[in-house]
Amino acid sequence: MNRLFLLLSVLLLLSCKSSEEFTGFSYDPEDVTNTVDKEINFQYRRVIGAGNPTVWISNKFEGARFNDFYAINDTLFEILIEPENAPINNSPWYAFKVWSDSARTATFRLNYNNGRHRYVPKISIEDTIRAIDSSKLRYDSVNQTMDFSIKLDQEPKTISAQLITDSEYYSEWLSSFSGLDFVTISDVGFTHRDNPIKKMVVSEIPNNEEAGVLIIIGRQHPPEVPGYLASQIFIEELTGSSELAKEFRKKFEIIAFPLLNVDGVLNGHWRHNAAGIDLNRDWENFNQPETQTVKNELLPLLNNSNRTVYYGIDFHSTNENIFYPIEESVKTVPDNLTQRWIPIIESENPNVPFNTEEFDTNSPIAKNWIYKTFGADAVTFEIDDNLDSKAINQVSKSAVRSLMKLLLEEKK
Residues that bind Zn ion in the complex, under the rule CB under 5 A = 221, 224, 316
CB of 373 to Zn ion, least distance (A): 20
Nearest CB to Zn ion, comparing residues 89 and 402: 89
Nearest CB to Zn ion, comparing residues 55 and 365: 365
Nearest CB to Zn ion, comparing residues 279 and 407: 279
Tell me how far the alpha carbon of residue 205 is from its chain's centroid: 30
| β-sheet with 307-318: strand ranges across | 183-190, 196-202, 252-257, 211-218, 307-318, 377-384, 322-325, 355-356
CB of 279 to Zn ion, least distance (A): 9
At residue 56, what are phi and psi to the nearest 5 degrees? -110, 150
Nearest CB to Zn ion, comparing residues 227 and 289: 227
Partnered with residue 123 across adjacent β-strands are 130, 159
Nearest CB to Zn ion, comparing residues 261 and 373: 261
Cα gap 138→51, rounded to integer Å: 21
CB of 50 to Zn ion, least distance (A): 35
Partnered with residue 258 across adjacent β-strands are none
Nearest CB to Zn ion, comparing residues 106 and 322: 322
CB of 230 to Zn ion, least distance (A): 12
Contact 57, 79 (CB under 8 A): yes
CB of 3 to Zn ion, least distance (A): 47
CB of 348 to Zn ion, least distance (A): 24
Span between the terminal Cα atoms of the chain, in Å: 65
CB of 242 to Zn ion, least distance (A): 29
CB of 221 to Zn ion, least distance (A): 4
CB of 380 to Zn ion, least distance (A): 8
Nearest CB to Zn ion, comparing residues 170 and 270: 270
Nearest CB to Zn ion, comparing residues 220 and 349: 220
Closest residue to Zn ion, judged by C-beta, is 316
Nearest CB to Zn ion, comparing residues 117 and 221: 221
Cα gap 174→171, rounded to integer Å: 5
